[in-house]
Structure 1
């Protein structure tokens, strides 16, 4: 829509005649554009930004387990371990007999993700360890969380990655000692099988630990399955008992030494890269914080005699890398006064983070005469122009009008807890494209 700046700066009020719905004609107004009192204009403002190291990327029950060593000259080195808490499958039936013997204990995983460089070895080795302590069901786990695991692995995966076709189902046989112990519990109908809580005290879970030096991360569906196969000497087929994922999280270690980001390595740290470029990386918690203050300054400098017809946030990328694609979408979140914590709002459906919203998602409360806080809108990636673009006319108008106190917005990827997608670009590629009308 075409908006009149008002309110915060005590600006003049104009007739509703000047307010018209936005359409594809960027400067379409409900009056004669040849009016000598009106000047139609366009400008671009470069938005300043800082980089923030988030301390609270929740990876609890992330869509995938992220496992591997990602080495990158720009972002530094990352190691990710996947942690899984196991529970008894709802379809599992204890049909053991006294003479049953172990056939095998097999772990099944579905590989569905690859991220990193394909210029090194594509062999990956992952050791499977039992956890030394169980998950705590009363807390959330974050990207920097860890759990101790037993020193000796109970199994391993060794496979070749195909970056073009990362989807694959893998399986490996686990320790017979673990399998036999579980079978004995089944045959004795032990109390540890009475509930998942008791079972998880007995079998505390698994850690997927990378043991090879790679330049990539593999991802696995969180639905890990462990199947115990057993049979009596006279049986012609095996019987089975299934254990499945109950909870999971990804624990990440980051080393940015030797990069332009080396000075941003502590939780809740705010700063700039030494090369002043714009950086973002999912799961590690590295996110940029944009400042929309230049727009407020622009309106003030023009003494408020401006109609904002359309404002577009543009984040242009310099280039794309084939094996490290940019996120499919970004999201922006309004910040508290500390410049790091996102603003949380509440509805009957529960809490949500107040966001940077597209004009199409804008909501105005006519009774209270103020905008309604809404969740973040998607900032889609334009593959043709290699950029992210979103119309933020409503958001910026509400900032100018004083309905938004903090002009800073935190930007993060949509898959911020289940991938390592990243982007970097030049500082002058972050723009507000403003189509406006000046009242003479």
Structure 2
């Protein structure tokens, strides 16, 4: 191997340009390359094909967040999330029987404490409703996983409803008072040693379902699943002990579970939107058929498929060539984000097979590849996502057999949020999605 010093002084390129080899940046190439007349071309005339599809299901039981709320979205329709979870006694080294209560303990009150984890999506300035329902069946997944499409039977009448103004940054938690009679029943069984383990607790209390108000059009709020942040607390006192100090007994979401005992049920009703026909994972809608837009939303499963059908036209250029760089540029729709539906600063990029099944995340020598938001200013008026796709394009140029794989774009926290991005497609008048290649050509003579 030899190195030639190449310094690329790129000005503005529209379709392609060539430059003298004396102005190129440092690049390690083969002997044949160094002994030839080198031209470096910057090409951006390749077709970028974008389409939207919807994953049939997403594993939401692996999330560390409970999502509760509902809002109406101009692009995705009505978006709603409910949280389901079982509660158990936290293991502590200092207690021999973790379900023990003092015989003379007196229950004072019961409350469900939901710790904010800082996540929200949409309008938190409006009053939301949260309904606490008692689950009627064991929180056990059929195939060891709960999905965004999963649900469980619960009492149709809520145990308690609470109207609240979400304050995910100003407050640590949301306090929901639970009816005394409900708590007293469990407390008495604990105190009388009728509940001594999780199985016996499960026989009388299977957990809670947290659901938004049916008329809500506010926000989806994130609550922590951590045992230090979210719990059902029984406040009690022991007469003539500790000067009647108030004590507490907590039931929490098991942090050491073998099988999942909590999940989020997340859905959207896209009637009247571009997405209403996406009822199966293999169904796609091209951006050219959806107002030159493509859609990503976490939780509900919408993702963007990207293909480069004309990439091998590069072989029409005479001479042997080497790919130096490949960058996909896509612009988010300016009117799709604001202070409540904030724009995410990165996109996950993974392989996608012919059946729209996602594979491994795209990698390069620096690790996992992400689409990064560039060009930010105070008003977010002129930003684009730039995605380095060198490895993928090189793979496509060198594949022996023509494949019908593609790339898929989605967001971080795809299974634990409802964040979304609306992207402008390949024929959008404001900004066309484009693939820019830097390609070195050398003659064999």
Counterparts of 1:135 and 1:144, CA distance in 2: 15
Q: Which runs of 5+ in 1 are unaligned?
A: 1-15, 344-353, 362-375
Counterparts of 2:42 and 2:319, CA distance in 1: 16
Counterparts of 1:258 and 1:22, CA distance in 2: 52
Specify which of 266, 287, 295 is matched with residue 303 of structure 2. Answer: 287
User: Which residue of 2 is the match for residue 322 of structure 1?
Assistant: 339
User: Which residue of 2 is the match for residue 87 of structure 1?
Assistant: 88
User: Which residue of 2 is the match for residue 131 of structure 1?
Assistant: 135
TM-score (norm 1): 0.80
User: Which residue of 1 is the match for residue 369 of structure 2?
Assistant: 377
241-250 vs 228-237, greater mean Cα deviation: 228-237
Counterparts of 2:441 and 2:187, CA distance in 1: 79
Counterparts of 1:176 and 1:109, CA distance in 2: 18
User: How many residues are paired up?
Assistant: 394
Counterparts of 1:22 and 1:179, CA distance in 2: 73
User: Which residue of 2 is the match for residue 221 of structure 1?
Assistant: 224
- Contact 1:113–1:167 (8 Å) recurs in 2: no
List aligned pairs for 1:33-432, cutoff 5 A.
37-44=37-44, 45-91=46-92, 93-111=98-116, 112-117=118-123, 122-136=126-140, 139-162=144-167, 165=169, 168-190=172-194, 192-194=195-197, 196-211=198-213, 212-223=215-226, 224-235=230-241, 236-246=244-254, 247-272=261-286, 274-295=290-311, 297-302=312-317, 305-319=320-334, 320-338=337-355, 340-343=356-359, 354-361=360-367, 376-382=368-374, 384=376, 386-402=383-399, 405-428=403-426, 429-432=432-435
Structure 1 residue matching 2:147: 3-state secondary structure = coil
Structure 1 residue 52 displacement after superposition: 1.1
User: Which residue of 2 is the match for residue 372 of structure 1?
Assistant: none
- Contact 2:298–2:410 (8 Å) recurs in 1: yes
TM-score (norm 2): 0.80
Structure 1 residue 285 displacement after superposition: 0.3
Specify which of 421, 432, 437 is matched with residue 434 of structure 1. Answer: 437
Deviations 1:334-377 (A, max 9, x none): 12332x1123xxxxxxxxxx22223533xxxxxxxxxxxxxx53
Counterparts of 2:7 and 2:153, CA distance in 1: 57
380-389 vs 247-256, greater mean Cα deviation: 380-389
- Contact 2:90–2:250 (8 Å) recurs in 1: yes
99-108 vs 300-309, greater mean Cα deviation: 300-309
Q: Which runs of 5+ in 2 are unaligned?
A: 10-22, 255-260, 377-381, 427-431
Deviations 1:215-260 (A, max 9, x none): 3211111232111122345451233211101232110221111112
Structure 1 residue 35 displacement after superposition: 8.6
Structure 1 residue 265 displacement after superposition: 3.8
Deviations 1:356-410 (A, max 9, x none): 223533xxxxxxxxxxxxxx53333335262222322223212211179444111
Counterparts of 1:213 and 1:399, CA distance in 2: 47
Counterparts of 2:436 and 2:201, CA distance in 1: 58
- Contact 2:325–2:439 (8 Å) recurs in 1: yes
Q: 1:378 to 1:260 in 2, by over 3 A?
A: same
- Contact 1:70–1:214 (8 Å) recurs in 2: yes
Q: 1:97 to 1:167 in 2, by over 3 A?
A: closer
Counterparts of 2:106 and 2:338, CA distance in 1: 52
